Chain A
Amino acid sequence: MNAVEYAKPQSIDDAIRALNNAPAGARVLAGGTDLLVQLRAGHVRPPVIVDLKGIAELRRIEVTATGFRIGAAVAGAELGEHAQFAAEWPGVTEAFHLIGSTQIQGRATMGGNLCNASPAADSVPALIAAGARCVIVGASGTREVAVEEVVSGPGKTTLAKGEFISEFLIARRQAHSGDAYLRFIPRTEMDIAVASAGVCLTLDDKGLCTAARVSLGAVAPTALLVADCAKALIGTSLDDAALAKLAAAASAACAPINDKRGTIEFRTKVAGVLARRAATIAAQRARGN
């Protein structure tokens, strides 16, 4: 029965050092909405918990000419209150906002939602669709990877020991672009996504789709970036035929499981429906921009 140690470093370097010196099983604490549940249930008993919320860089949202830098430990409620980000990336904002209750929003972070590595994490498909990248820091240096490269399977990431995400990089919205995220849950709140879809697309002056990214959640071991879905949209005016093709491509990409939250058949079909509906919303937003 070893006690759990707690460290609250004030800088990225100190955090790297703390994690590097920690015995195996050390856990990073950002929002804690998953970690504390696991602790309480006795599923984990880390030798040390490294709290990242003391690091200023991880708590801030920065806007530059080219993009947003969102600290990995920014809470959902804090990002939701950032009017400019919400205006430019409504899909990402909504996705992050869908994670849990108001209470959870006060704590949950983008870094935590990604690194918890649940296939059903709400913010992840939206971030992937948005083309977001993240900055990973560690003893061996700093690297930048696409969000879709972080999670390798349920509960597993590609982060090396001692590495953590410091911030997310999301471009400024381009002209005639829009994003959207939809998930299906049986209730209206407080559920884990049974299937989800994030869509980001860009139109040309004539309303033809020139670029698209479509990501699906809860239908495979990790969130998927589905190239066939993008193909179904690019070059079209997002008419019914293109949207039907998108839905079919989304369903075809699914490799879900049967569990307490849904069936294979249900997830496969609904992922297509959600992709189509999200694309419709994203297109409306793109036309309005």
Chain B
Amino acid sequence: MAKHHVTTTVNRQPVELLCDTSETLLDVLRDELGLTGSKEGCGSGDCGACSVLMDGRLVCACLVLAVEATGHEITTIEGIAEGNTLHPIQQQFLEDAALQCGICTPGFVVAAKALLDRNPDPTETEVRFWLAGNLCRCTGYDKIVRAVLTAAAKMREEAVHG
């Protein structure tokens, strides 16, 4: 059959593309749209390196068919910063050295944003369980969890005084 014509929104920009049924959202983000910030660590939804937001909801792009993106709004790691201004979570990851090799970092940033969008004041336990679908092998998670908690505190502060 012919390829599907998909019309969707990626990082606030309208996007059109052609894909086969068996292509995943991750495949087209990386290979068609050049958005290689979403990483493929497993292809089975077990590592979270391809985490993106679909209508604001956290999903693994490897577990979404590209054709399913039709009519939805997708946000990838490339859409988290506002221009050259890093999102507070990104900034805190840098300040707290919450990354070593950096391959899992895009997924963690997107997942953490989804959490703080819903819950601006999570406990450590809530952060840990929310991020349990994102594997990191370098950091032991300590600095990541701290960065998310600190970013949350700073964002709350900003919301009050901003």
A–B contact with Cβ pairs below 8 Å: the answer is yes
> Residues of A with Cβ closer than 8 Å to B?
3-6, 8, 29, 32-33, 36-37, 39-41, 49, 51, 53, 75, 77, 100-104, 106-107, 188-190
Q: Pick from A37, A41, A77: contact of B63, CB below 8 A.
A: A37
Indicate if the CB atoms of A102 and B133 lie closer than 8 Å.
Answer: yes
If the complex has contacts A53-B68, A104-B45, A106-B57, are A4 and B133 also in contact, measured as CB distance less than 8 A? no
Residues of B within 8 A of A32 (CB): 63-65, 68
A4 vs B20: C-alpha distance when bound (angstroms):
8
| Interface residue range, chain B | 20 to 34
A102 vs B48: C-alpha distance when bound (angstroms):
9
19 additional contacts (CB under 8 A) given A37-B44, A189-B133: A4-B20, A29-B65, A32-B64, A36-B62, A36-B65, A53-B68, A101-B48, A101-B134, A103-B48, A103-B51, A103-B63, A103-B111, A103-B133, A104-B45, A104-B63, A106-B58, A107-B63, A188-B129, A189-B132
If the complex has contacts A3-B1, A49-B21, A106-B57, are A40 and B132 also in contact, measured as CB distance less than 8 A? no
Indicate if the CB atoms of A6 and B65 lie closer than 8 Å.
Answer: yes
Q: Encode contact with A along B42-71: 1 for CB under 8 Å, 0 otherwise.
A: 011110100100100111101111011000
A107 vs B69: C-alpha distance when bound (angstroms):
13
Residues of B within 8 A of A107 (CB): 59-60, 63-64
Q: Is B123 an interface residue (CB 8 A)?
A: no
If the complex has contacts A101-B48, A103-B45, are A36 and B132 also in contact, measured as CB distance less than 8 A? no
Q: Is B22 an interface residue (CB 8 A)?
A: yes
A285 vs B37: C-alpha distance when bound (angstroms):
46
If the complex has contacts A4-B21, A5-B21, are A103 and B1 also in contact, measured as CB distance less than 8 A? no
